[in-house]
A and B are shown apart, each in its own frame.
Chain A
Amino acid sequence: MATYLEFIQQNEERDGVRFSWNVWPSSRLEATRMVVPLACLLTPLKERPDLPPVQYEPVLCSRPTCKAILNPLCQVDYRAKLWACNFCFQRNQFPPAYTGISEVNQPAELMPQFSTIEYVIQRGAQSPLIFLYVVDTCLEEDDLQALKESLQMSLSLLPPDALVGLITFGRMVQVHELSCEGISKSYVFRGTKDLTAKQIQDMLGLTKPAMPMQQARPGPPQEHPFVSSRFLQPVHKIDMNLTDLLGELQRDPWPVTQGKRPLRSTGVALSIAVGLLEGTFPNTGARIMLFTGGPPTQGPGMVVGDELKVPIRSWHDIEKDNARFMKKATKHYEMLANRTATNGHCIDIYACALDQTGLLEMKCCANLTGGHMVMGDSFNTSLFKQTFQRIFSKDFNGDFRMAFGATLEVKTSRELKVAGAIGPCVSLNVKGPCVSENELGVGGTNQWKICGLDPTSTLGIYFEVVNQHNAPVPQGGRGAIQFVTQYQHSSTQRRIRVTTIARNWADAQSQLRHIEAAFDQEAAAVLMARLGVFRAESEEGPDVLRWLDRQLIRLCQKFGQYNKEDPTSFRLSDSFSLYPQFMFHLRRSPFLQVFNNSPDESSYYRHHFARQDLTQSLIMIQPILYSYSFHGPPEPVLLDSSSILADRILLMDTFFQIVIYLGETIAQWRKAGYQDMPEYENFKHLLQAPLDDAQEILQARFPMPRYINTEHGGSQARFLLSKVNPSQTHNNLYAWGQETGAPILTDDVSLQVFMDHLKKLAVSSAC
């Protein structure tokens, strides 16, 4: 049998699932002693070029409380044309279409390689995708110009039958009517007044067509396009109109006096966007794309006043409870996010400004609806432009890499219950029999709504083993979990993707080794990190760190090999060996450390951390460092200050930043211009190599990372210095007595110190 590593990888590739434990402790008690919960990272729409969707509907278990979908794990009686549900053991008749079924003639869903399968639902009206641009006009001229160009460009990327709408805002909010000839019309709203969805629809005249509708009776399908037609139009129809409209878009004309921020009504604009879609296209795939160049400064959802002399809140202010508008604004955006989620729409936030833009308050809009959050310095940067372009990238089939209005349902076999999920989702509050009372993340349900998702969107799903210790699972028993994701494909089809997995149960007392070996420390690190970040949103930073530390210590106590009170004897098996290091870097990461980050940045980082897949998440936790030198091919090196050497070029990928760092000597060479001399062409190649590699990463990543090219002593070098393990600091530089590496001016503990402490605590019997 393959190693667990291979098994894990295989599973991930096939099902998009990675479990913290791949062999499950068979009782509740043992499970809790494992410290790291039984959980998985699920990428519901993982790209599977090899998986063509089947063009029929799934077969459901007939038990109303179960409704699990027929899968390869089910027992099938080919003669009786019966199948037994592997979750509730209900015996079900195959539907008439399956009469020809036999051992040799199996439908796809029964084949083991189709543990993940996608169905296309033919029923129901297909509604076009909707893109509603919400554009801030309080921008600098060139910023606005760049944004307009990006938007115009995006029109050509949209599916031609997609509906688009445009809302612009500054001091006022304008909803542009796109259908009109001649005069361009827009409905204007005051930016300071919160309106209910009903009011918004009234004012936009969306409720009025009730009359014409009665006249032209034939059914509601006609009503929808009619109602919406004025504000949301198929791209192919109003392409020119909208391009012109965007072209004529002016900066907000209201004067901004010296010492003031422009009045920006982001809160109302979003509210209107939400209300507009709510009234016209509930439960249809729609993206509200908010482009903002600064903080909301008036009306509901305002984050900062318009006086420039009062700076926008910092973590310091928040800690001291000094952020006047934060709570109210957050509440406003949360309310909007929840409404949007209910309607199945998602909100993207593209915030480009040098200062903060209020992402902290607005984050829930993207977080709860599965929207994107992009943060940049200006719309006139490639960071924004390419990121934005990448939203409309297409997959191998030519379909957009986006899906809408998904619901994820998790079914478990009896020994398991669902404790919660962490990711870009909201609870649907469905209390099934497999819902645990203990919540981890968003719990209390076994269904979640994910309004917007893409092939990399990944949720952490947490389970609880409920099997009692005294009622063991039969030998060789397997626990099964089925993930059912219904969503609107970008081709507007409704689809259902079903992933059914099973893992072996093991008795933790007798088979601890098995369990230990099947530990996926990477997944576990990410899942624990998600729990930590989830907690950090609501708890004080130090508490979260303490909790993480305790979990780590307990894990080491449980799985480490050591003699009591002898730190030097402490050992961890291979499957755990990296875990403490991940935790060390996690503790230093911006997800948990707010020092040096603005509240907006923290929100931004956390947003992405909660939705990226395992690999990306790991990069975020522990950035990758490559070293380039004349001594050999590029090699990954320790993320440690000792790796910073004068004759090396370093390439660091933190997910959010790509840093190329030239060592002191290299930098001097370059300054001397050796790369331009033909005889030093190899130096030129050396300089070029990391750039090429960086480009490769830049091409693939969403959102575009910040690209930093720096050198020894450069101010931007701080990005690197703040990430590496401070093994050499100004405190211990001479004590170590080494010449290599670069000292980091920090009081942070280094990994070595951290590990020493950990060992000490793990072996101590005190805790």
Chain B
Amino acid sequence: MTGETKWGCTHNERQPVSSTCAAIWAAPACLPRVSSIQLWWATRVHSPHHSLWSLQWPSTRLSANISPRFPGSQPFGSVPLTPVVSQPTVLQPYGPPPTSAQVTAQLAGMQISGAVAPALPPVGLGYGSPASLASASGSFPNPGLYGSYPQGQAPPLSQAQGHLGAQPPQRSAPPQASTFTSPASGGPRMPSMTGPFLPGQGFGGPSLSQPNHVSSPPPQALPPGTQMTGPPGPPPPMHSSQQPGYQLQQNGSFGPARGPQPNYGSPYPGAPTFGSQPGPPQPLPPKRLDPDAIPSPQLNELPPQQKTRHRIDPDAIPSPIQVIEDDRNNRGSEPFVTGVRGQVPPLVTTNFLVKDQGNASPRYIRCTSYNIPCTSDMAKQAQVPLAAVIKPLARLPPEEVSPYVVDHGESGPLRCNRCKAYMCPFMQFIEGGRRFQCCFCSCINDVPPQYFQHLDHTGKRVDAYDRPELSLGSYEFLATVDYCKNNKFPSPPAFIFMIDVSYNAIRSGLVRLLCEELKSLLDFLPREGGTEESAIRVGFVTYNKVLHFYNVKSSLAQPQMMVVSDVADMFVPLLDGFLVNVSESRAVITSLLDQIPEMFADTRETETVFAPVIQAGMEALKAAECAGKLFLFHTSLPIAEAPGKLKNRDDRKLINTDKEKTLFQPQTGAYQTLAKECVAQGCCVDLFLFPNQYVDVATLSVVPQLTGGSVYKYACFQVENDQERFLSDLRRDVQKVVGFDAVMRVRTSTGIRAVDFFGAFYMSNTTDVELAGLDGDKTVTVEFKHDDRLNEESGALLQCALLYTSCAGQRRLRIHNLALNCCTQLADLYRNCETDTLINYMAKFAYRGVLNSPVKTVRDTLITQCAQILACYRKNCASPSSAGQLILPECMKLLPVYLNCVLKSDVLQPGAEVTTDDRAYVRQLVTSMDVAETNVFFYPRLLPLTKSPIESATEPPAVRASEERLSNGDIYLLENGLNLFLWVGASVQQGVVQSLFNVSSFSQITSGLSVLPVLDNPLSKKVRGLIDSLRAQRSRYMKLIVVKQEDKLEMLFKHFLVEDKSLSGGASYVDFLCHMHKEIRQLLS
């Protein structure tokens, strides 16, 4: 019990290196007949300090399950797999929520390792689905099948009732859960799931779950040759060859019932922003959404054998919520001190303070692993990508100090002569301080006389703590003129606002709104330090088919407009008076902004140009010899005759074909060329799109993407509805601190080297990341590869140097240093990984992949890589155990669920309503997201609002993103960094409805409402406060959408319940986990 306690009890104890956590959920082969699969804790895992979570099915059972003909299948059904069922204690969760202590204690024995030892069990857990292990196991050997069980396999009625009995107190039975509902409630509704035995169908295409797993290697390996003792009999292992068999079985009940894909094609009427929502599958029986539908009479009608199916208990598999909560509890209180090499920082979801003691804060750099394999062989074996997610200008919480600025005088920052690395805490001073050895390349350098300092007895410079560059992980150097373009100190940057004034923009009210807002916004241009006034100059351009430049020189009484119609050969018509200081020219600017909406009020021009606009802005900056940023407000596909003219090439038919990638590729190379010029000039482009229809985001975003800019998209913009969101984004975007004309270089210790980069930037060679602009939200992900051996002693160092022009026009170098450990044991690697970062990297990798490969290939690659990572762990680090066990490293236990989220994201698996533009938009968004953003983007936060007492000031604990977790008597907030939903259960108390919406009943709530009424009651205040605080956490304003249960908008909402099977064919968490397991097993065998 010692070992069990250690890992099972608390996560507090996880920290000690010695603690061991391992969960093995396995059904030993010997158990079969009775309790087909059993779950228990593996008391020990070979290496300490990582918890294992394992899933094991006896192969015999599997085969039995899979093939209904197999006589053995019957028993399975009768024995639920969940610990809940097999062990009395497990029932606990169904009861009134136990205290955390209790639960941990109770669960310790049988719960799944860290994953399930919840300090506070998620609310939903209790009612959760008694997933039948049997069903899960059944699917297991069947690639493509898991996740979908025919009704016929629902557990016997009695079983279901048993479950139900436990549930009554809360009626939130899991009916909503699409895939993994409990046998009882879910069973009857089964049609929504792909028939488990639809293998034929599944492979054939219609099965939704299939796409995810198509690539998975056939599980054939399992039955025949594996170590598993599976009964040789009905080699269910399946694969296409098996189809006939299953088909036979399935056809009767499910074949026809299962809606083929086309059924999902019905466009969802919801907002296009969320267009990715899959439509409701037609074949859903009406009952499906009935929260009260618990047992269904249908069950009775099912053939007995089909009732035998059991499912994996969703509560039993690793829960992101739990992991997050645990980390929060364990690590949120203490500051994270960066003095120790190779320390894994707390999760991004945890609030913690950082103390810089020589390594860069995780806010600047996060790595996939903090322990790097010493050799490339090891790295290859593990397949764990070595990557760092770097956010060089990250904003810090007010409690933390921003990097100190160091001035090394005229000679410039001190650097290694050979590798040019900058002075950092890891440089070794030798010979009494007269020389230093570079920590990156080992070159011995002389210390310049003015920098000389004596060493103390430990060989440290006496002044080490006086100098940020010798004691901190992050700091800045003042750059000398050598670091400037043309050897000239830069002039302060400029902002140019370029406003589409075509018919659409005028009609939607955008222009008026924007001009009005700019008048006040211009007072808040970013400034540096304590300066009174921003150094940034501004300029204005409007355009439709032609461009209008404005002379707003302070000496003028009225602004002057200069029209340039020669869009084919863009140029800047004026120099003096175009870029002005806001305060000097305020009167003229105000007059201009007043007049712009009037001047174009009667416009009939619908055509716009695009590339010439960027070109113009860039030329203007070039003429003014400064860097800067263009804010483009654009409405439509640029079809006017001009360079960069685009045509509508949107073609949904290309989805799932080899040509799908063309949807992500720019239509013309012109924009790349343009972007290149922009980068050379330090011209960053932020694009605000207000499309009413297809605008080809893939092409339009090329320049923002390559220049380090942002793209904002407001589909079908209406002032009334979208004003707040747009203005908020605009304010934030204009005010945020930006570095211009930046070059980033990542240097590493000899042995590894940065080989690949992801993000919004341009690279003209293989090492320098060129960023026309870089703000505090933009992240660059860097992948490393070995080119030599690393030394375990000295570890591996990263130094990220960013040369940029501050918004006051000062040229600076920001340096971030990070020391990592190196290992010769794979186990060390696995113990120091960070799944969130890994997912960030993998998502970016995949999202870039879709440009060049079919989406399916990209998905397969991801799955394979993930399987390889886990298989390698299984093989090399986990204790020898039955191959039927799924053992996940503690640090990566969320990898499957997160990866599944990535796989079913709109880019990789679009639903019928996801427009091409949405996909391209999301694709480029993700490219520069940081770890926290990707985390919540892929696995949205679902916060129950009415569960915790109103008085509690803290954010309510999140629940898992699954329909099963929703109770129809509650209200939930869901956010993923872009979208914000307020889901209202159908049977929410009237009082709650009243105090939140100011209407008397559920039915009176306006569906799709985007603003909550301001009411003076605690609940309303709390919810609105929560919404505000959520918005404040995100870099983009999230527009609220109120979704009523069973309303048509709910489909939109459900799309974000990522643990469920998605309508576009994305697998449910459980299904995917099973698939993953199968993949791993295949690799192992």
Contact = CB atoms under 8 A, between A and B. Distances in A.
Contacts of A188: 549, 562-564, 573-574
A184 B560 contact: yes
A188 B569 CA distance: 12
B575 interface: yes
A190 B575 CA distance: 13
A182 B549 contact: no
A757 interface: no
Given A193-B569, A204-B565, A183 B559 contact: yes
Nearest to A190: B571
B689 interface: no
Interface string A253-293: 11100000000000000000000000000000000000000
Contacts of A186: 560-563
Contacts of B564: 187-189
B204 to A, nearest CB: 55
A236 interface: no
B624 to A, nearest CB: 11
Given A174-B573, A248-B556, A253-B575, A184 B561 contact: yes
Contacts of A673: none
Interface of A, helix, strand, loop or mixed by DSSP: mixed
A204 B563 CA distance: 9
Interface residues of B, number: 26
Contacts of B711: none
A214 to B, nearest CB: 14
B896 to A, nearest CB: 59
A223 to B, nearest CB: 18
Nearest to A175: B563
Contact of A183 (B546, B558, B566, B576): B558
A254 B573 CA distance: 10
Nearest to B560: A184
Contact of A205 (B560, B565, B592): B565
Contact of A189 (B566, B575, B577, B599): B566
A201 to B, nearest CB: 10
Nearest to B599: A183
Contacts of A184: 558, 560-561
A195 B566 CA distance: 10
A676 B574 CA distance: 57
Given A182-B558, A188-B573, A203 B546 contact: yes
Nearest to B641: A202
B595 interface: yes
A260 to B, nearest CB: 15
Interface string B590-607: 011001000100000000
Contacts of B559: 183
A253 B573 CA distance: 10
Nearest to B598: A182
Given A174-B562, A189-B566, A190-B566, A183 B573 contact: no
Interface string A153-184: 00000000000000000001010010000111
Bin the interface of chain A by size: 20 to 34
Given A248-B556, A254-B575, A187 B592 contact: no
B548 to A, nearest CB: 8
A172 to B, nearest CB: 5
A183 B592 contact: yes
A67 interface: no
A85 B722 CA distance: 84
Contact of B569 (A190, A248, A255): A190
Contacts of B546: 203, 205
A433 B864 CA distance: 94
Contacts of B565: 187, 189, 202-205
A48 interface: no
A592 B1054 CA distance: 94
A4 B556 CA distance: 68
A31 B573 CA distance: 62
A151 B561 CA distance: 22
Contacts of A185: 548, 560-563
Contacts of B561: 183-186
Contacts of A248: 556-557, 560
A253 B577 CA distance: 9
Given A174-B562, A189-B566, A253 B574 contact: yes
A253 B549 CA distance: 15
Interface in B860-896: none
Contacts of A172: 571, 573-574
Nearest to B623: A254
A248 B557 CA distance: 9
B595 A182 contact: yes
Contacts of A190: 566, 569, 571
A172 B558 CA distance: 21
A387 B20 CA distance: 103
Contacts of B558: 182-184
A185 B546 CA distance: 13
Given A172-B573, A183-B592, A193 B563 contact: no
A203 B566 contact: yes
Contacts of A187: 562-565
Interface in A727-755: none
Contacts of A189: 564-566
A261 B548 CA distance: 28
Nearest to A245: B560
Contacts of A204: 565
A184 B560 CA distance: 5
Contacts of A254: 575
A181 to B, nearest CB: 9
B562 A253 contact: no
Interface in B524-565: 546, 548-550, 556-565
Contacts of B557: 248
A146 B575 CA distance: 24
B564 to A, nearest CB: 5
B552 to A, nearest CB: 10
Contacts of B563: 177, 185-188
Nearest to B565: A203
Residue from the set A183, A250, A255 with the largest chain B CB neighbour count within 10 Å: A183
A471 to B, nearest CB: 64
A203 B568 CA distance: 11
Contacts of B569: 190, 193
Contacts of B550: 183
Contacts of A183: 550, 558-561, 592, 595, 599
A255 B623 CA distance: 10
A172 B551 CA distance: 14
A286 B591 CA distance: 36
Contacts of A253: 574-577
B540 to A, nearest CB: 11
Nearest to B573: A188
A203 B563 CA distance: 9
Given A183-B592, A248-B556, A254-B575, A193 B566 contact: yes
B93 to A, nearest CB: 71
A64 to B, nearest CB: 47
Interface string A184-223: 1111111001010000001111000000000000000000
A182 B591 CA distance: 9
B820 to A, nearest CB: 52
A185 B565 CA distance: 13
Interface in A281-335: none
A186 B565 CA distance: 11
A531 B556 CA distance: 55
Contacts of B595: 182-183
Contacts of B571: 172, 190
B636 to A, nearest CB: 19
Given A172-B573, A174-B573, A185-B561, 8 more contacts: A172-B574, A183-B560, A184-B561, A187-B562, A195-B566, A203-B566, A205-B546, A254-B575
Closest 3 CB pairs of A and B: A203-B565, A188-B573, A253-B576
10 contacts: A172-B571, A182-B591, A182-B599, A183-B595, A186-B560, A186-B563, A188-B562, A205-B546, A250-B576, A255-B575
